[in-house]
Chains A and B, each alone.
Chain A
Amino acid sequence: MLTTIMPEAILTAAEKYSAKGTHPLTAMFGRDETVFGEGYAIYCYFEVPETKSVDGFKVVFRPESPLEYDSITHIVPAAAWYEREIHDMFGIIPKGHPDLRPLVLHESFPEGFFPLRKSVKVNAKVRGERKYKIRTAKGEGLFEVPVGPIHAGIIEPGHFRFSQAGEAILQLDAKLFFTHRGIEKAVEGKTPYEALPIVERICGACSIANTWSFCQAVEKIVGVSVPRRAEIIRTLLMELERITNHVGDLGNIPAGVGFNPAISLGGRLKEKLMRLCEAVSGNRFLRGVIVPGGVAMDIDAALINHIREVIDDVTDGVEDLSIMFSEQENFQNRIQTTGIIRNRTAVDLAMVGVGARASGYAHDSRSDFDYGVYSELNFKPYTKSMGDVAARLLVRIGELSASFEMVDKLLDMLSSCADTALNVELNYIKGEGWGISESARGSNFHYVALDAAGLIDRLFVRSASYPNWPALTVAVQGDIIPDFPLINKSFELCYACIDR
């Protein structure tokens, strides 16, 4: 499916496949194929909206040739992080990259250590002193504000360095990947079934999205289609996960400005939804439902009624919240024109999810790809054009009402579905496949390659937060530092998703 090219041809290929930016970069990652008697390779996938699919190229480095190529960041700005990550993980050098500092491996790793090479053992213990220079602005009257990696709230680690002129933010540099877990390395040599619980735990908020993308990829390799009942249940759970996350965000964004009644109401609604998740799947994070080949459990009539009741209740609550937001003038004043991402920026960085759609970029895997039963639900992406915190909040509210309607339809479809099969047997064969699903934060892409024994040779996970993190540093420019927590919350970016 992928066109194989030599490193010299990468610039032309990038130009061709990105189609002047109309085909956003989905993922770019390396792979060590030395065990098959070949060299290293870089895979580059672009989304093709016209065919509802992905297409791209594979750059192969022959064992004897140097591990370097011309950086495509100048043509495809979204490639900047991917190229840095490939550089860290495989030691393949993108020549002319504008910022080739380490991305994943910070000071505590030695130079010349490339963990995703097959020659490195999964339990390798290393210590080192790499150089890492945080980016700052220099000048008279300017000062730096370091924040993190330990934060005041109970959140994950990330270091932010603000360059300030008084309260105004001139530049923000984010140092992330502090708790990289090497999940992609850890699942190598495991069967998809063994890897599933690990993939499921990449992030607490996107269990369904991660497992669904992963299972899609595996199912593509094997070449089976999932029973209809399983497809409906998967879609239903995906929407339930989205509702839980979006409602949680509606309660979290006001925390950036101390809007107490909204924080409390949002928290209360989220708890109701998490209890619903527990009633449905036995787990508050919806774990253990999706398996390769289908789903592990059914949703019976009693549960359908329970879901309806809770969703009705939450629908009312979200309406209250949305009235609260629109009537609070002081709150509107805080969120409007704050943290703007322009449409051009969103497209250039190949942003996904709420962040993209709030800037008028109608990117949504539910309509861009054909998976689950979304094609029967008449789904249309919900967009706003302002690109500020208010737009991101409104997109979430708009998507929630769409999701409530979809859940209603899905429950009808489920009760009238005569098909009782929940999953199919899979016989693993050698091959490679990809899967994509729209998580609450945006599109979630997985690439899986199985070897002849049906064991995972390479897993690559591109979660929704990955392309959106760089956008945060753009969004804060021109704002003042006390607005940063609000802007940050409006993106709701995930550390665990990128620390995979």
Chain B
Amino acid sequence: MNLVQSFVWSLKMAWRDSRTYRRKLLFFTLAIVLGTAALVAINSLKENLTQSVLRESKSLLGADLLIESSEPFQPEAEQILDSLKQAEEKYAEEVSFSSMVLSPISGKTRLAQVRALEGDFPFYGEMETEPAMAKSKLSEGRFALVDEGLLVYFNTKIGDSLKVGKLSFLIAGKLKEIPGEAALQTFVGPRVYIPKSQLANTGLIQRGSRTKHKVFLKLNNPEETQAIVSSLEPQFDLSLTRFITPEDRQQSLGKAIENLYRFLNLTGFIALLLGSIGIASAVNVYVKQKLDTIATIRCLGTKSWQTLVIYLTQAMAMGVIGTLAGALLGIGVQFLLPALLSDLLPINVDIYLSPLSILQAVAISLGITLNFALLPLISVRRISPLRALRTNFEENAHMENDPLRWLIYGLIALGICTFSVFQINSPGLDWWYGLIFPGAVGVALGLLALITLGFILGLKRYFPNSASYVWRQGLSNLFRPNNQTVVLILTIGLGTFFITTLYFTQDSILKQVNVADKNGQPNLILYDIQPDQKQGVENLLAENGLGVMQSVPIVTMRFAKVKDMDVRALRKDSTNNNAYFWEYRTTYRDTLTATEKILRGKLHQGMKGNEAMVEVSLATLLADQLNLKLGDTLTFDVQGLLLAAKVTSIRQLNFSRIQPNFSILFPTGVLEEAPQFYAMVTRTKDSKESALIQKSLIEAFPNVSSIDLELILQTLDGVLSKITLVIRFMAGFSIITGFIVLAGAILTSRYQRIRESVLLRSLGAVRSQVMQIMVIEYFFLGIISAVIGVGLSLLSSWALTEFIFNSPFVINVLPVFVSILLVVSLTIGIGLLISRGAHNRSPLEILRLEAT
């Protein structure tokens, strides 16, 4: 028999040998279906998104060029802009800022993002409104376009009025979609468009007001955009002005899409890894069941490579079927994802099939699955034909020393690391950042495996011998050979870990803000109070029985130099951190508030005027972003005046309380004479009182903005819910995979369970006892997975909230118990569903059925 004939025979034998196992094998393929589906969907979506961004690049900006300044343009700049407006095809202007708006009908107030617009913006793409032509009303007088969410919040409708500053506007329509903007923005700051011609009359623009001034241009020759920008840049103060082209917007959106894609892809990859572990485990048991057959065909003259081909072919078939089914499902999911992500994406995504993306995902999935399946499969090469003579023959003694096994371990590790490094690959990031993901998954898996093995060892050592029979039998089933207890706990535990981490983190952040409402802490913050309004606001609060808990002076400024680097020069490189260019609201004091803590250095103690440099304290977040250390020098541009300073302390801030926090803190004796305004914090009895005082404030001081705890909670909840919905959807792939692996593992040992059950029943056990034994086994599988998964997720949620969100971790006990209960119930439910019939059919009937 030549090589080709041997190979063909092995394929034929693989087909024949899979008989009676095909249904089971097909079931195991389900384990990789979801992981593959996730990868296919995400890969395709990325391609669709990238193409959509390319296609809609101009409508992302709505213009060929946007000139944006954080301060009103200087007269010289205005002159240049005027000549541009005349020379080019079209222009529009917008001034935007945050301000309170009031609904006279409902009496409710809300901090909104007011945009005073003049001109026919956008030039590309459509501002979708209801009614469709509502936008044209903006040029006709005191009309406003309002975000749909704000109308719902105010309980008002089109045709009602809305007060912005001192003016009332008629709501002409609701905003449905603005090109280049994600709907999620409405949660943070609902948008209100008013005519720019009415802006001055609102009385909202005061000294120190944080405004953005934009000029949108439609150029005669859009292909010359870059040349125009190059000619304009030297004529503008680049520390204040930015020139944004569709390509810039496309680039920054591309980055955001890349990040989203990486994150989603990693979650999909986790599901695939879990499924692959499940496949490896199923193949391991399958091979064990096939030992006699393998030994027999070895006796009859099959070579070792032929036996490997036979079982590898079966595993490959599983992999191919699973991957193809996954690809089909993934294509379906691809059509679902844009709906889930719609609020996060600033563009409409056209969904179409991307063969290359699908092929890429399928290749990754197939590669990973096959490597995992190979691990147990390579042992078939070493199965001795002697086993056909002696069924108790042990040949596994040298399996661990098989160099091929270590090669496959290496390939799997290399595959995962390469995938991850490829995913994280980004300019400015070292390649080894990509190893954090496999490292973290490895640590989580290692911990789960260690705890599980520890539990099994402990159970064996301290076995409750005095417990009733059903308990003893149920517990000892956990370490029954081929039971795959560790794999089951790994998959279900890891799925639980991912899902609950997301939930606990979100819950903790929200709960922390809720806690802030207690203990007499402030729950309403007012800002943009001009010096001449300070007394009036204090009086108004006092008239309403409210005290001022804190009154903070605020001075706005920018960086002119950071560690001797000119910020204007830094502006030319778009990869530089935006924190260099922000406008900062700073304050001055020589003490710490209750929410601040010095991490490094020493807090300044008032300036006497004879010091060489002003000492400043930075928040950790800012220091980390700009890589600033103690002793670094900074030059601030305080509204035209340059001020040199030195970093002398780094503070940690706690953002969980309602009070103004400052990234930059100055000592007393420096900024007192600088133009400033104030922020105040107070505490209202309840949300009704809060609403009333906000209404009085907006009527008396329209430019004063306020934000209360309820609004923060609503905003946080809205934003987090939208983001976590996507994450949970993806994490769902992992947990469902976990349960498929559980079902597969139970299915694998079904015959063993049935035989045990039959034996027990032959020995006199009643059906209820057999049932109880199964429930006990599944209960322990569920409870161990759930407790370890939830335990690890509490740890990771703590780390996330403490170190990423800088907020103390608050445990909500109820969800912890509900999560555990849910996982245990699902495990028992699925276990009993798959084992159904094992405990209540005639022993003889079952033995005959299973034997066939």
Instruction: Verify that A and B bind, or say they do not.
Output: no
Residues of chain B whose beta carbon lies under 8 Å from any beta carbon of chain A: none
Residues of chain A whose beta carbon lies under 8 Å from any beta carbon of chain B: none
